[in-house]
Amino acid sequence: MKKLSLIFAIILLCMLATSVSSEKLRLTFDHFYDGQAVIDAVHDLHKAYPNLTTLQSLGQSEEGRDIWQLTINNPKTGKDTEKPGIYVDGSIHGNEIQATEVCLYLVWYLLDSYDSNPVITKLVDSRAFYIIPIVNVDSRWHFFTDAGDYNIGRTGMVPYDDDRDGLLDEDGPDDIDGDGQILRMRIKDPYGNWKSHPDDARVMVRVKDGEQGQWTRLGSEGIDNDGDGQINEDGPGYLDMNRNWGFKWQPPYVQSGAGDFPMSGKVTRAVSSFILSKPNICFNFAFHNSGGLIVRGPGSKLAGMYPPQDVKVYDYLGHEGEKILPGYEYIIGGQDMYTTHGDFDEWMYSNLGIFGFVGELFMSEQERYRLLKKNADKDEEWFDGTPAIEKHKFDDNVNQGQMFSDWKEFDHPVLGKIEIGGWNTFTTRIPPLFMLPEMVHRNASLVIFTAQQAPEVNLELIDITDIGNGLKRVRVRAHNGNAIPSLSAQAVRRDIYRKDMFEITGGSIEVVSGGIISDLHMDRVSPKRNRPEVIFSSVPAFGTCEVQWIVKGSGSATISYSAIKAKNLKLSIKL
């Protein structure tokens, strides 16, 4: 009896151990993860899925915080660098916090679904994902811990003398009323340019010519910290990490926030070093906010026009993205938005030949309180696409008034009696929490769809033909059924990488000639003069590359295909 009890106890312990070890890590996206919570989450995910993840710090920021990078790859199906790589990052601007949530959700979703969803299993087995949830680790950290507003925290924490008085960052916004936020200030002024909206006094609208004003807007909360007669003229920073990259960089008098020189920021150098160590990366996503946009380059006329072959790739993926993200618009940054120099996605494409999108995540038009068939009143003040009056109705009736702090009188030490109020910190450029789950899933789904379109090359024998005099003609075809080519046209024209390599080897054969077939049916071949056994080319999107060799001899031979951004392949043949 004791023996049976012991056996039962052992079985029970085994069952309990199995249930604990198989329990999945659950992340929820009904809130925003602050800096420490993100660190805890990526470490917990790595611990929960050690066989599919590696986690490392790429270095430290200006304030000494780690830049955490997580790789998802199944080593049983090959090294990460032997597979097409997808790079994803978020929050290069620290106040664009939901970009991190998309990255974190993507990591969790890929790992959580690996055993249960065959689509994800196949994807993780055949691709490598490189994810940096927070690029601007300092400013995003401060966004959660310090008093701020939705426009504060964009830049890297690199001290800068904005007002050229010899002091650094000495006069930034201040939470003068002590409510934990940096809101807006206004002062009564009959000669001001603003008046209260007749239907909602919380809203200010510009006065028309001849109208009497009521208010002058004074900007963000603050005082004259340095006694120079100005308020908030020298706040934290200013290094815009998305203007500090080494392609067509322009100095600060041309591009605000560019830094002293390209890659001057510790974070940009650390991230660029990591990317350069992963030449298999074929596509990148850099998530920002807001606007509901899928953005590609060029960011400025200095970048020049993109090759038409690459534009086709962008157009296909961008238009598919518009379907995955209803309401989002696929655009060209420098043409449809504004000019940028030294930005990350341009550096990735123009210098490294890596396709990529900037995801501008949140559509404030979703904050609507109207019938879809009706147009907004064009005379009202617009707040990122939504009229301010309507935005207040949305807040009052859908978000129960959590988004706006009503105007309140305050006795300012310099300006006298003023009013402080406005949209709260976690608003305007940031979605209400009830909108967050769908936003992160749809944007992660665009990453997944794009990863499915990474180059997937198949190698097949077309024919082996005896052409007389002991010679045989061998023809093979490499076919890519996906939207991303094995090398971008940009990479090919600038010789950024070695091209894909086709090679035929065999102990008893001699390769007489070889070349790329330009027209299979008309027997047109572009011959290679030297070392004909090795042929360099690339495989286009939704296309093929066909090569041939003329060989002398017989027996076994091996045809190999070696690529930087696609899986290596081998084909055994008999001559």
User: 14-33 burial, b if ≥16 CB within 10 A, otherwise e?
Assistant: eeeeeeeeeeeeebebeebb
| Per-residue DSSP letter, 294 | E
For the stretch 400-444, pLDDT in tens is 999 999 999 999 999 999 999 999 999 999 999 999 999 999 999
Predicted confidence (pLDDT) at residue 450 exceeds the cutoff of 80: yes
Point out the least confidently predicted range of 103-107, 115-119, 207-211.
207-211
What pLDDT was estimated at residue 20? 32
Whether pLDDT at 380 is above 50: no
Whether the predicted pLDDT of 387 surpasses 90: no
- Mean per-residue pLDDT over the chain, rounded: 92
Predicted pLDDT of residue 238: 84
pLDDT of residue 386 exceeding 50 = yes
Q: How many CA atoms lie within 13 A of 432 on its CB side?
A: 19
- The predicted pLDDT at position 23 comes to 66
The reply to whether domains 24-142+240-362+433-451 and 457-574 share a CATH topology is: no
**What does the pLDDT read at residue 245?**
97
Residue environment code for 417-441, b if the CB has 16+ CB neighbours within 10 A, otherwise e: ebbbbbbbbbbbbbbbeebbeebbe
Answer whether residue 12 shows pLDDT above 70: no
**pTM metric for this prediction:** 0.93
Q: How confident is the model at residue 114 (pLDDT cuts 50, 70, 90)?
A: very high
147 pLDDT higher than 50: yes
Torsion of CA 208, 211, 213, 217, to 10 degrees: 10
Mean pLDDT for 136-161 is 93
Q: Which of 274, 272, 282 is closest to 565 using CA atoms?
A: 282
pLDDT in tens, 514-528: 999 999 999 999 999
Structure-model confidence comparison of residues 370 and 298, the more confident one: 298
What does the pLDDT read at residue 13?
44
Topology at the third CATH level for domain 24-142+240-362+433-451: Aminopeptidase (3.40.630)
| pLDDT tens, residue by residue, 253-262 | 999 999 999 9
Q: What pLDDT does 543 receive? A: 97
In this prediction, residue 375 carries a pLDDT of 54
CATH architecture of the region 457-574: Sandwich (2.60)
CA torsion 87-93-95-96 (nearest 10°) is -40
Q: Which residue has the tokens 């995540």?
A: 361
Give the C-alpha separation, 282 to 80, whole Å: 13
Q: Please give the Cα distance from 138 to 61 (Å, whole number).
A: 7
Q: What pLDDT is stored for residue 163 in this prediction?
A: 83
Confidence band for 374, pLDDT divided at 50, 70 and 90: low
**φ, ψ (nearest 5 deg) of residue 195:** -140, 165
Q: Which of 72, 74, 63, 70 is nearest to 40 (CA)?
A: 70
134 neighbors 100 (Cβ within 8 angstroms): yes
pLDDT digits (tens, 9 = 90+) for 264-309: 999 999 999 999 999 999 999 999 998 999 999 999 999 999 999 9
d(CA 534, CA 555): 19
Instruction: Report the candidate in 136, 81, 86, 135 with the shortest Cα–Cα distance to residue 110.
Output: 86
Is the model's pLDDT at 24 over the cut of 90?
no
At residue 236, the pLDDT reads 85
Q: Domain locations in the chain? A: 24-142+240-362+433-451, 161-236+365-423, 457-574
